[in-house]
A = this chain, B = another copy of it.
Amino acid sequence: MKLKIAIFISGRGSNLENIIHAIKNNKLKNIEIVCVFSNKSNAYGLEIAKLANIPTILLESGHFGEERKKYEAEVLKLLIPFSPDLICLAGFMRVLTSDFISQFPDKIINIHPSILPSFKGVDGQKQAYDYGVKITGCTTHYVVPEIDAGKIIAQASITTENCDDEKKLSAKILKAEHYLYLYTLEKLSGGDFESLKEEGWKERILIN
């Protein structure tokens, strides 16, 4: 039985693309993407999903303004038919309420671009760059109502070597994110990590 995941995005969907790519290449053998959900109609990730013949759901959050619960009730209605085992936030830029989260206890995960608990909230990469850390990275964790505070699943660290601007640092963290998300899905689906060993990223990285 494969683990059925729904991926939530708001933008380019680079982690989504990486997961699709991995599955196509016979990695993540225990994972099936049942749908991709976006709260933004211009999210490029929707195109990526369509090209891969993955069902997409679009529900613009903008129209709902502050009516978060009403919005989430609609999301739930659209999502339930796909009966996902796990909801994977991947650049999903909307905070979920505890009402929504309680519908999927320990079944919503997120990736954050820092070694939590450092640099919670928006722009974890910029926060790290501005602080002047020598090591940073990314974290996958369960989603709880408090932002970036849920139980940690896995983390990856990288050095800030050769990152003389914030853009370079963000790009390096993003590569680590790609690797960490695959690692996390292998971990949660009982995978053997074997296929990840072929991953081409040559930068030094520490993952656990």
Q: Give A contacts to B, CB under 8 Å.
A: 115-119, 131-135, 137, 139, 151-161, 204-208
Which of these, B116, B156, B204, contacts A133 with CB under 8 Å? B116
> Can you identify 10 A-B contacts, CB atoms within 8 angstroms?
A115-B118, A133-B152, A133-B155, A134-B154, A135-B137, A135-B156, A135-B206, A159-B207, A204-B206, A205-B206
Cβ-defined contact, A208 with B152, below 8 A = no
How many monomers of this chain does the complex have? 2
- The one of B153, B156, B160 in contact with A208, judged by C-beta atoms closer than 8 angstroms, is B160
Q: A117-B118, A118-B115, A118-B117 are in contact. Are A155 and B132 (CB under 8 A)?
A: no
Smallest CB-CB separation from A137: which chain B residue?
B135
CB distance from A127 to the nearest CB of B (A): 9
Cross-chain contact of A132 among B115, B152, B157, B206 (Cβ < 8 A): B152
- Indicate if the CB atoms of A161 and B208 lie closer than 8 Å: yes
Which residues of B are found within 8 Å of A151, using beta-carbon distances? 132
Tell me the bound Cα distance from A116 to B153 in angstroms. 20
Q: When chains A and B are docked, how far (Å) is the Cα of A201 from the Cα of B114?
A: 26
**Known contacts A134-B152, A152-B132, A152-B133: A206-B159 contact under CB 8 Å:** yes
A85 to B186, CA, bound (A): 51
Q: Which 8 A-B pairs have the closest CB atoms?
A: A159-B208, A134-B155, A135-B155, A157-B157, A134-B208, A118-B118, A206-B206, A135-B157
Query: What is the CA–CA distance of A206 and B139 in the complex, to the nearest angstrom?
Result: 16
A156 to B134, CA, bound (A): 8
A103 nearest CB across to chain B (Å): 24
